[in-house]
Amino acid sequence: MLQQILTELAKNKVTLVAVSKTKPESAILDMYNQGHRIFGENKVQELVAKQGNLPKDIEWHFIGHLQRNKVKYIASFVHLIHSIDSPKLLKEVNKQAKKSERVVDVLLQLKIAEETSKFGFDSNTIKQFLSTDDFKMLTNIRVVGLMGMATFTYNDQQVRNEFKLLKKTFDDLKTTYFSDKDYFNELSMGMSGDYKMAIEEGSTMVRIGSLLFGNRNYV
Ligand SMILES: *Cc1c(COP(=O)(O)O)cnc(C)c1O
């Protein structure tokens, strides 16, 4: 399944984040031994434990809701945080990255779904924040793009519209705030059930769990 998906993604130059949450280290190692290096987790404690036990050249992506008081546990090694949903959280990542003498790459999570359960910025708040001096002073983070999660629904048209909105916001922000930067390039959208559509709508990075590892007992 891994090779099949990778071949499909390669045609579109899309990066695969293999979402290994709730799965044992043996399952990650198995995929590592097939050559894959990019894994995503959504719980800090689980990520820290796995990172400690698994090969050091794995690129760990954090994809879940991140509490400010837990940033310090992952700042020294995390490769990309997909789920920045407030200015306060971004400032904390900057602070902890500085302590580790790193620049940490992040994505801003945009709320595109209807469900109230999903986290994320609305686009006006993002725009306001990107214009502030507060933002410009954050020298230990780099905003490399956006992430979004579509509504969990069988209504394909709704999902497609949400992806279109995310892509449009990405293009707007790139033009307005990042035109002089070469790193604002990532659009993290698409999961097991909707990644093909996400790629059609401009995704550069998909987060796939159950299709690779089998169904989870809980989410
Ligand atoms: C669990 C999760 C995924 C992967 O979901 P699947 O449907 O198993 O592919 C992707 N993104 C986030 C933020 C997740 O929490």
Question: pLDDT for 3-62, tens place per residue?
Answer: 999 999 999 999 999 999 999 999 999 999 999 999 999 999 999 999 999 999 999 999
192 pocket-lining for ligand 1 (C-beta < 6 Å): yes
Both structure tokens of 2 = 């891994």
pLDDT value of residue 219: 52
Q: How confident is the model at residue 105 (pLDDT cuts 50, 70, 90)?
A: very high
Share above pLDDT 90 across residues of the chain, in percent, rounded to a whole number: 95
Dist CA 141 CA 35 (whole Å): 28
Report the separation in Å between the CA atom of 42 and the middle of ligand 1, taken as the mean of its atom positions.
9
**DSSP-based three-state secondary structure for 82:** strand
Closest CA to 82 of 48, 106, 100: 106
* Mutation test residue for ligand 1: of 44, 207, 212, 213, the one with most atoms within 8 Å of CB: 207
- 115-132, pLDDT tens digit by residue? 887 789 999 999 999 999
pLDDT value of residue 94: 98
Report the separation in Å between the CA atom of 209 and the middle of ligand 1, taken as the mean of its atom positions.
6
Closest CA to 129 of 149, 112, 109: 109
- 65 pLDDT exceeds 80? yes
208 pocket-lining for ligand 1 (C-beta < 6 Å): yes
Q: How confident is the model at residue 66 (pLDDT cuts 50, 70, 90)?
A: very high
Spatial CB neighbours of 61, under 8 Å, sequence gap ≥ 6: 17, 38, 39, 40, 41, 78, 79, 80, 81, 82, 207
Report the separation in Å between the CA atom of 214 and the middle of ligand 1, taken as the mean of its atom positions.
12
Buried b (16+ CB within 10 A) or exposed e, 113-139: beeeebebbebebbeebbeeeebeebe
pLDDT value of residue 119: 87
Q: Whose CA is nearest to atom 12 of ligand 1?
A: 63
Report the separation in Å between the CA atom of 75 and the middle of ligand 1, taken as the mean of its atom positions.
22
190 pocket-lining for ligand 1 (C-beta < 6 Å): no
Q: pTM, whole model, 2 decimals?
A: 0.97
**Are the beta carbons of 138 and 90 closer than 8 angstroms?**
yes
20 pocket-lining for ligand 1 (C-beta < 6 Å): no
What average pLDDT is seen over the chain? 96
> In degrees, to the nearest 5, what angle opens at C-alpha 69 toward C-alphas 64 and 73?
75
- 7-22, pLDDT tens digit by residue? 999 999 999 999 999 9
Dist CA 5 CA 208 (whole Å): 10
206 pocket-lining for ligand 1 (C-beta < 6 Å): no
| Atom of ligand 1 lying closest to residue 207 CA | 10
